Amino acid sequence: MCILFIAVEQHPEYPLIIAANRDEFHQRPTVQSDFWQDHPSLLAGRDLEAGGTWMGMNKNGRLCALTNVRDPQKILNNAISRGHLVSEFLINQDSQQDYLAKLRDSKQQYNGYNLMFGEWNDLSVYNNHTDNVSKLGPGVYGLSNADLNSPWPKINQGVTKLREHCQQAVSLDTDKLFEILLDQTQAKDEMLPKTGVPIDWERKLSSIFIQSQDYGTRSSTLLLVNKNKHVTWLEHTFDPQGINRKQREFNFYIQ
C-alpha cells in the first residue's frame, strides 16, 4: 500500500473514512480482498509472493495498513517482508503498546515502512526509520512513502479533497472518494520530492494514481465505518492500463 488518506471524526455519520491505493509491480501475484479461509474474521487482500498483506481489518475492529518508505540508499537485501507486520497484528491479540514494542525491537530487520495500526477508533502510525509514533486524533491525514503528512504535492492534494468532501457532503459519495484515488496529476518538477530515484520515476510516482506497464496502482480501497460501527469495504482492481477490471464490496458490523 503506497498511499492512504484518513479522515478521523470529520463527518457526522462516518467517524472513520480511509481512501487508499496499493501500488505494486503488476507481475507480483495477489489475491483480492476477502475473508481469509485460515482466519475467517480477517478481511484483507493477500500477497502470494510473501504471504502477508498491505491493508486489512478484522471483525473485532482491529485495523492495520502499510506504506513503504522510499529510500534506495537504505535497502536491505535480506529484509523480512513488511506485509507480515499487517497480518500479524490483525491475527494476534497483542495490545497496541505491546505491538509497538515489538515493532521497535525489530525495526532494523525491515526496509523502511509506515504502519498504521490499532482499533478503528484509536489508530497510530509508526515509522521504523525515524522510530516515531503518531496518534491519529480528529483530523485528515495523508500517508505515503515518507513521514505522516509529509508535504508532497499528492499528499496535500488528497488531504484537501477528502477534507472538502467531508465538510460539504451530507451523505458520502463513494464515487467522489474513488475519484480522489484516480487522480493522475503529476507534480511539477520543482515540486517533486528528492527520494533518490531517477527523475522520470519521481514524476511517475508523484501522482495519487500511478499507471505504467510494469508498476502502478493495483487496487483502490475505501474503508468506511459509520457511527453504528457498520463497516463498508469497497475495492476496485486495475490492470496495467489503469482499467478497472474488478469490483468487490463487503459489509459487516464490528463485534
Kindly give, in sequence order, each residue whose CB lies less than 8 Å from that of residue 20, ignoring residues fewer than 6 positions away.
1, 3, 4, 5, 55, 65, 181, 220, 221, 222, 223
What gap in Å lies between CA 211 and CA 97, rounded to an integer?
38
Residue from 161, 187, 218 nearest 10 by CA: 161
In this model, does residue 27 exceed pLDDT 70?
Answer: yes
pLDDT of residue 170: 81
Residue from 215, 139, 209, 141 nearest 180 by CA: 209
Domain boundaries, the chain: 3-253
- Whether the model pTM is above 0.85: yes
Alpha carbon 216 to its chain's center: 14
On average, the pLDDT of the chain sits at 96
Residue type, 197: V
The answer to whether residues 140 and 162 touch, using CB atoms and an 8 Å cutoff, is yes
Supply the CATH classification number for the domain 3-253.
Answer: 3.60.60.10
pLDDT of residue 227: 97
pLDDT of residue 47: 96
pLDDT of residue 171: 87
Helix/strand/coil for 128 = coil
